[in-house]
Structure 1
Amino acid sequence: MLIIEGLTRHFSGRVAVDDVCMEVPRGAFVGVIGRSGAGKSTLLRMVNRLAEPSAGRILWNGTDVTEMRGKALRDWRSRCAMVFQGFNLSGRLDVLTNVLVGRLNKVPAHRSLLRLWSDADRAIALSALEHFDIAELAAQRAEHLSGGQQQRVAIARALVQEPEIILADEPIASLDPRNTRVVMDALARINRDYGITILCNLHSLDIARTYCDRLVGLSAGRLVFDGTPDALDAEAARRLYGLEAAEVMETAPLALMGPAPSPFLAHT
């Protein structure tokens, strides 16, 4: 279980996240919603320790993440994978190598530096690409892929880390509606097939209501909503979105595609 206690972050005198407290059980799919600048990205980055909290604690299965240093912190970042809005791939490298980067914490340093990937690691990476229907792109350079394809590669890279939790920071912000659905289906499939906990920052309320089993809403860094998608009424939306509330509440939710599961990690 992920427990966040009084998490706070200050930037140059401004409070980005303000005394947030929440508990997330293992296997949940939680959407973090709110306007741009509400503190959603900062919250996720603190959970992964890419940003340091100014106050508060983060606990994972009873272990204090905020106290981790050195190897313990590197291990945590492997178990707590990040998926970024900008994909964070190396465009000049091929797709398979980008995915194999997710195995860095699983292999000796000298092998990773020389890209001496084992057959088992390659099989795991290819299996992840097959899981998202992009195995045929393995030899292509990442920079030649569409946005939706690049984001699926990024999710495959996160999956081969064998994480316990995935933090997705606005993973669909730059995608068209079709690729939005493909990427969100990929995250839903990971959550459903492997029971991996997912926290996903989303600006779109209709996407959040469609895919997430729980929503937490931030406004000016404070937690102002925590409940099921059905519980998010017009009043709660106004607290989150202000004048934009009517617009976000009117949008009809997408239908899940529900792709068939795939046997990933059969090689481990």
Structure 2
Amino acid sequence: MLVLDGLSKRYGDTFAVADVSLEIPAGGFVGIIGRSGAGKSTLLRMVNRLAEPSAGRILVDGQDVTRLSGRRLHSWRADCAMIFQQFNLVGRLDVLTNVLLGRLQRTPGWRSLLKLWTHEEKAIALSALDQFDIAQVAAQRADSLSGGQQQRVAIARALVQEPRIILADEPIASLDPRNTKTVMDALLRINKHYGITVLCNLHSLDIARLYCDRLVGMAAGRVVFDGAPEALTDHVARDLYGLEAGEVMDAGPAPDTLPAALPQPALA
């Protein structure tokens, strides 16, 4: 259980996030929606401790994440993987090495610095790439891939961290409809078949309704909607987005029907 208790982030006299309290059971797929500047990205970055809260607490199974430091904070960041809009890959490195970077928190520093990855670690990384149909590009430079391929590499990197939670910050913002569907299907597969909690900032309401089992709407740093996708009516959406509502209510692609069982990578 992830609990946000009165979480706030203040910059001077302005609150980017103001007194947010949420309870998110393990295994959920939660979409965070709202206008640009609503506080969605700041909220996710606080959960990962990339941004320090000004007030409030973050609790995971009773552990106060806001008090962690040093190795315990590094361990939490391994348990709480981030996926960014701009992929955050090392373009000059090959795809396999980029995925293996997800193992840094679980690998001795001297060995990762010298790129002395074990056969088991390489097998884990290749298995993750195979899950998203991109194992064939493992030897290519990351910057030679399309945007959709790069985002799938970023998701594979997150998966090999063996996280409890994945935080995806606008992961499809720069993608075309075909790659949008591919990336969202990949996140849904991780959520359903590995039971990993996913918190995903999304711009398109229709994408959010299709893929998420719960939506949290933010405005001016505060939670103004929290419920099932079907409860987010067009009327509520227009109240949430105002003049932007027409831009975010385009029809999105339907997710793939997931098979009853999926071969899982041999994650340690």
> Same fold per TM (> 0.5)?
yes
- Per-residue CA deviation, residues 25-77 of structure 1 (Å, 9 max, x unaligned), is 00000000001110000000000000000000000111000000000000000
> What is the CA-CA distance between 1:253 and the residue it aligns to?
4.1
Alignment: residue pair count: 267
Is this contact kept in 2: 1:209–1:253, CA < 8 A? Answer: no
Structure-2 change in CA distance of 1:247 and 1:143 (3 Å):
closer
Deviations 1:69-113 (A, max 9, x none): 000000000000000000000000000000000001111111111
**The 10-residue stretch of structure 1 (187-196 or 109-118) with the greater mean CA deviation from structure 2:** 109-118
SS in 1 for 2:74: helix
> Hey, what's the Cα distance between the residues in 1 that align with 2:147 and 2:246?
30
Q: What are the residue-to-residue correspondences of 1:1-268 with 2, within 5 Å?
A: 1-249=1-249, 251-260=250-259, 262-266=262-266, 268=268
**151-160 vs 105-114, which deviates more?**
105-114
> What is the distance in 1 between the residues matched to 2:138 and 2:48?
28
| Structure-1 separation of matches of 2:71 and 2:257 | 38
Q: Quick check: 2:160–2:267 contact (8 Å CA) kept in 1? A: no
Cα offset, 1:239, TM superposition: 3.0
Name structure 1 gaps, 5 residues minimum.
none
Measured in 2, the distance between the counterparts of 1:215 and 1:135 equals: 33
CA distance in 2, matches of 1:233, 1:254: 19
Contact preservation (8 Å) 1:185, 1:258:
no
Q: In 1, Cα distance between the equivalents of 2:132 and 2:75?
A: 26
Q: Report the CA distance between 1:252 and its aligned residue.
A: 3.1
Q: Hey, what's the Cα distance between the residues in 2 that align with 1:180 and 1:168?
A: 13
Is the Cα contact below 8 Å between 2:30 and 2:213 reproduced in 1?
Answer: yes
SS where residue 15 of structure 2 aligns? strand
Deviation at 1:259, TM superposition (A): 5.0
CA distance, structure 1, for counterparts of residue 247 and residue 147 of structure 2: 26
Contact 2:205 2:248 in 1 (8 A): yes
Whole-Å separation in 1 of the counterparts to 2:60 and 2:235:
33
SS state of the match for residue 88, structure 1? coil
Tell me the percent identity. Answer: 69
After TM superposition, give the deviation of residue 264 of structure 1 in Å.
2.9
**1:265 Cα deviation (Å)?**
3.2
- Kept after mapping to 2: 8 A contact 1:27/1:197: yes
Instruction: Look up the SS of the partner of 2:42 in the other structure.
Output: helix
Q: Which runs of 5+ in 2 are unaligned?
A: none
Q: Distance in 1 between matches of 2:267 and 2:76?
A: 23
Q: State whether residues 124 and 265 of structure 2, in contact with CA within 8 Å, keep that contact through their aligned partners in structure 1.
A: yes
Q: Is the 8 A contact 1:120 1:267 kept in 2?
A: no
**1:235 shift after superposition:** 3.6
